[in-house]
Amino acid sequence: MSEAKIGRMTFTVPEPLKERAQARGDVNWSAVVSKAIEQKLASLELADRIAQKSGLTPEDVDEIADLMDAAMAKRFGARK
């Protein structure tokens, strides 16, 4: 089984957030960001599947995705 290719993305964050993250050398930020992107994509893809069957507008889908993100953040103790 071959490994997935690794891609590079660049993000802009507020300087205070960057400084706090850099102070935590014990955290693999690439893994944290990858997981967050996976979770967001899963939420959006679910909302898209729901929308395709329901006739929702793109704005409705965005609103549902935001509600799902907030619910997951609350359930797992994350800040949104």
Domain boundaries, the chain: 42-80
Q: For residue 43, what are the CA distances in angstroms to 4, 35, 78, 80? A: 22, 12, 15, 14
Residue 80 has pLDDT above 70, yes or no: no
pLDDT in tens, 20-49: 999 999 999 999 999 999 988 998 888 788
Residue 1 has pLDDT above 60, yes or no: no
pTM over 0.75: no
d(CA 32, CA 24): 12
